[in-house]
Chains A and B, each alone.
Chain A
Amino acid sequence: MDVDHILATMNDCQVEYLLIGGMNFLLRHEPVLTFDVDLWIDDHAANRRRCERALTVLEAEWGEFDSDWGMVAQREPGWLDRQPVYCLSSPSGAIDIFRSVRGLWDWATSRAQASLDRTASGTAYWGLSDGDMLQCQLALEAPYRKLQRIATLERVLREQNRGHDA
């Protein structure tokens, strides 16, 4: 998987995105087993078109049904408009595109709290803040929550708060 290539392509195509999920947690905190890149995009038409272009560059594949699974390059613009989440495959790895995220209401607010970071090889990415990552976990039903992740995020946020108070 070439996560750097996925993030760099999103950057090059000027997609307004936030890296969320396990990969964001892995980059910012500690190792977790994760095999897809979860991206929450700002859900407006122009950004969806940019995201479609980025996914075409990444040679991503998707289908509304098994029967029409194939390269997204073959699709008419607007295919990202039809459902809230898309799970795509690509030679660079699995990519999940979220148009909305449970527990978070406003992309712009989350973007204002997000941080601009870099992967080990220097690719810049916007990652969801620790507070918002925690919100996402707490919004899930209990069986789906990742307890270790919640514990780490709560500890980090406590430490940050202590730092601010000192």
Chain B
Amino acid sequence: MVTMHDWVESESAKRLRNWDCAARWQVLQQTITWAEQQATVRRNTPAACVREQHRKLAQWKEWEKDLLPTGS
């Protein structure tokens, strides 16, 4: 029995075989640009940068804590 997953796999593979590489690459680049403009994605704003920095600093502090020898 052909499942929905099989259908999607074979249809995606067929599209990939038949889509010109240059056109596909252009579409991928445009997708990233479009996604970057969406409210949930926006990274290139002061607020987003501060938020991301905060998240990375917190990660770094956790990582540093793990590096400290136990009992010190």
Contacts and interface: CB of A to CB of B under 8 A. Distances in A.
Interface of A: 1-4, 26-31, 34-35, 61-63, 65-66, 69, 83-89, 91-94, 96, 100, 102, 119-121, 140-141, 144
Given A1-B30, A1-B31, A26-B35, A91 B23 contact: yes
Interface string B32-51: 00110111110000000000
B14 interface: yes
Contacts of A66: 14, 17-18
Given A1-B27, A3-B34, A26-B35, A87 B40 contact: no
A29 B40 contact: yes
Interface residues of B, number: 24
A89 B31 contact: no
Given A85-B11, A91-B23, A30 B40 contact: yes
Question: What's the dominant secondary structure at chain B's contact region?
Answer: helix
Contacts of B14: 63, 65-66, 69, 87
Interface of B: 4-5, 7-8, 11-12, 14-15, 17-19, 23-24, 27-28, 30-31, 34-35, 37-41
A94 B4 contact: no
A91 B8 CA distance: 21
